[in-house]
Amino acid sequence: MDTRAVSGNKAPLELRPEPATHRLELKQTEVGSVFVSNYPPYSLWNGDHLDAFQRALDTPWTSESPPLGLYLHIPFCRKRCKFCYFRLYTDKNAAQVEAYCDALAREIELYGQQPAVAGRPVSFVYFGGGTPSYIAGKHLRELVDRVQAVLPWDRAGEIAFECEPGTLSESKLATIRSIGVTRLSLGVQNFNDHILEINGRAHVSMETYRALPWIRALEFEQLNIDLIAGLIGETWETWRQSVRETIDVGPDSVTIYQMELPYNTRFSRQLLDGALGAELADWTLKREWHAYAFDQLASAGYEISSSYTMVRKDTRGSFLYRDSLWHGADMLGTGVSSFGHLSGVHAQNTASWSSYLERVAIDELPLERAYSTTPLDRLTREVILQMKTGSLEVSYFRHKFGIDILEQFGPAFDKLAQQGMLNTTEDAVELTPNGLLQVDMLLPEFYAPEHRPARYT
Ligand SMILES: C[S@@+](CC[C@H](N)C(=O)[O-])C[C@H]1O[C@@H](n2cnc3c(N)ncnc32)[C@H](O)[C@@H]1O
Ligand code: SF4
């Protein structure tokens, strides 16, 4: 995520408060979230703001409304990876998966009746997970037919779809292509089978290689590969090999995440129980691996498109979902635990399977908590998310918010400049390579003082 890139839009579901450690000082990989996907922190969202979200839904859209996206959460996986914190299930049978797809279609139909959505064009669609490619082709087709009847996406600029390599067959990929997917993202993580196994992945690299010719033959517009720097068992030698194999595959983009351990992963539990420790790469080593991969990719003709992503220079490198969200687009977050944003109000669905199904069954939007942002929240949100691109354009913010960010966030920029994380000029803020590699740890500097002590999720 690459939904994580905005990662998107999955709030890590944490069970305990984060360590008090200031993020910039993190060296060891500890239990807690580092990745910043939204602002203000999710822990501040609550039931009291749901009325504001309903008012946003009741207000008809206009030609001035921002672009609208649709996120569909598919919360199924063959197996839970030991590092994964997303809301997903590994124990649902075919009938339950079908019931979920029905509910998801119904939820989108309910959105389609709201004045803020009815008849509004959809600019981008993102199937995230869990594992969207877990779903049988037939169920995917049925889901999409129902969704397209209320929110047609034939004119959308991007339809992105996350895949776990071992769930792909030639016919399933053909179905994925036929529903209009333009950007296919493969969760490769690593090419070493031993590393994949000890980190709890369900797939082996042969399954990645098996799927690649099918993907090429179907001519998807973009292929992205996700890698994680810092899986258990990684060494310089195995990492170099994974980067080499990734470059040999030649995807249009490569996304690299440094492994983190939010509270609800298997590894986090082991770490807290003292059963894991020395095997974990520290943040310095993860940054070195990240930097190595970026260097190798640059030599192979890729360029930086964000702190996590390199794109091949000769391809259409845009990632509309990410770029739209980082510039304040609206998005309907559908499916269990999904979150979205409409006219300045954030909202998240219930994270409970039964509550999700029950509420949709009585034609209720399954919302759980919301947050009505202030103009300053919205400015801060865009500043921190766009920092992940490696630079900020001061005039963009002046034009959109009427505020000079160099003044508004002067102390934070000064502090980070002194630490060698960024440089400022009259019209730009540019992160240094060192700043870019640890951008998520820098972002709390920009939070309002009252939001800083808050848990992230
Ligand atoms: C929903 S998954 C992608 C699709 C599919 N589920 C898969 O894993 O193959 C999104 C991405 O998040 C990243 N990710 C998951 N847990 C992570 C963690 N603890 N630290 C860093 N990245 C993580 C992985 O790179 C993964 O590909
Ligand atoms: S396959 Fe993807 S979503 Fe599923 S557990 Fe693994 S990383 Fe998480």
pLDDT 10s digits, 336-386 = 999 999 999 999 999 999 999 999 999 999 999 999 999 999 999 999 999
What's the predicted TM-score (pTM) here?
A: 0.95
In a domain, 329, yes or no: no
At residue 120 the predicted structure's pLDDT band, cuts being 50, 70 and 90, is: very high
For ligand 2, the distance from its centroid to the CA atom of residue 426, given in whole angstroms, is 43
Q: Does the pLDDT at position 17 exceed 60?
A: no
At residue 26 the predicted structure's pLDDT band, cuts being 50, 70 and 90, is: low
> What is the average per-residue pLDDT within 130-154?
96
In a domain, 358, yes or no: no
> What is the average per-residue pLDDT within 33-55?
94
Are both 319 and 382 inside the same structural domain?
no
- End of a domain among 324, 348, 383? 324
Residue located via tokens 């000082």: 25
Atom of ligand 2 nearest to the CA of 79: 5
Residues 141 and 146: their CA atoms lie apart, in Å, by 9
What residues have CB less than 8 Å from 333, skipping those under 6 apart? 9, 71, 73, 339, 340, 341, 347, 348, 349
Residues 197 and 7: their CA atoms lie apart, in Å, by 24
* Ligand lying closest to the C-alpha of residue 2: 1
Instruction: Name which residue sits closest to atom 7 of ligand 2, judged by CA.
Output: 84
Are both 301 and 393 inside the same structural domain?
no
For ligand 1, the distance from its centroid to the CA atom of residue 189, given in whole angstroms, is 8
Determine the pLDDT at residue 14: 36
Quote the number of domains for the chain.
2
Are both 250 and 312 inside the same structural domain?
yes
Are both 394 and 297 inside the same structural domain?
no
208 contacts 246 by C-beta, under 8 angstroms: no
In a domain, 125, yes or no: yes
The amino acid present at 194, given as its one-letter code, is H
Are both 315 and 403 inside the same structural domain?
no
249 lines ligand 1 (CB under 6 A): no
Instruction: Name which residue sits closest to atom 2 of ligand 2, judged by CA.
Output: 130
Q: Does the pLDDT at position 21 exceed 60?
A: no
For ligand 1, the distance from its centroid to the CA atom of residue 434, given in whole angstroms, is 23
326 lines ligand 1 (CB under 6 A): no
346 contacts 358 by C-beta, under 8 angstroms: no
For ligand 2, the distance from its centroid to the CA atom of residue 163, given in whole angstroms, is 10
Residues 396 and 388: their CA atoms lie apart, in Å, by 16
Residues 71 and 80: their CA atoms lie apart, in Å, by 22
Are both 271 and 399 inside the same structural domain?
no
440 lines ligand 1 (CB under 6 A): no
Q: What percent of the chain has pLDDT over 70?
A: 94
* Ligand lying closest to the C-alpha of residue 189: 1
Q: What percent of the chain has pLDDT over 90?
A: 88
In a domain, 314, yes or no: yes
For ligand 1, the distance from its centroid to the CA atom of residue 247, given in whole angstroms, is 19
Query: What are the strands of the beta sheet with 253-258, ordered from one edge?
Result: 302-304, 309-312, 253-258, 222-229, 183-189, 158-163, 124-129, 68-74, 330-334, 339-342, 345-349, 367-372
192 lines ligand 1 (CB under 6 A): no
Determine the pLDDT at residue 174: 98
Q: What is the CATH number of the domain that holds 385?
A: 1.10.10.920
Instruction: Name which residue sits closest to atom 6 of ligand 2, judged by CA.
Output: 81
Are both 103 and 195 inside the same structural domain?
yes
In a domain, 338, yes or no: no
- End of a domain among 324, 347, 362? 324
Atom of ligand 2 nearest to the CA of 77: 4
Determine the pLDDT at residue 346: 98
Atom of ligand 1 nearest to the CA of 188: 9
Are both 304 and 441 inside the same structural domain?
no
In a domain, 283, yes or no: yes
In a domain, 400, yes or no: yes
- End of a domain among 324, 346, 367? 324
At residue 33 the predicted structure's pLDDT band, cuts being 50, 70 and 90, is: confident
280 lines ligand 1 (CB under 6 A): no
Q: Does the pLDDT at position 38 exceed 80?
A: yes
* Ligand lying closest to the C-alpha of residue 202: 2
Determine the pLDDT at residue 23: 52
Q: What is the CATH number of the domain that holds 316?
A: 3.80.30.20
Are both 284 and 385 inside the same structural domain?
no
Ranges assigned E (strand) in 21-157: 68-74, 124-129
Are both 397 and 312 inside the same structural domain?
no
For ligand 2, the distance from its centroid to the CA atom of residue 200, given in whole angstroms, is 9
Atom of ligand 1 nearest to the CA of 203: 9
Instruction: Name which residue sits closest to atom 16 of ligand 1, judged by CA.
Output: 84
* Ligand lying closest to the C-alpha of residue 162: 1
Question: DSSP character for 275?
Answer: S
Are both 200 and 283 inside the same structural domain?
yes
> What is the average per-residue pLDDT within 79-106?
97
For ligand 1, the distance from its centroid to the CA atom of residue 226, given in whole angstroms, is 7
Are both 146 and 294 inside the same structural domain?
yes
Output the average pLDDT for the chain: 93
In a domain, 342, yes or no: no
Query: Which residue range forms the structural domain that includes residue 140?
Result: 3-324
* Ligand lying closest to the C-alpha of residue 200: 2
> What is the average per-residue pLDDT within 331-339?
97
For ligand 1, the distance from its centroid to the CA atom of residue 84, given in whole angstroms, is 7
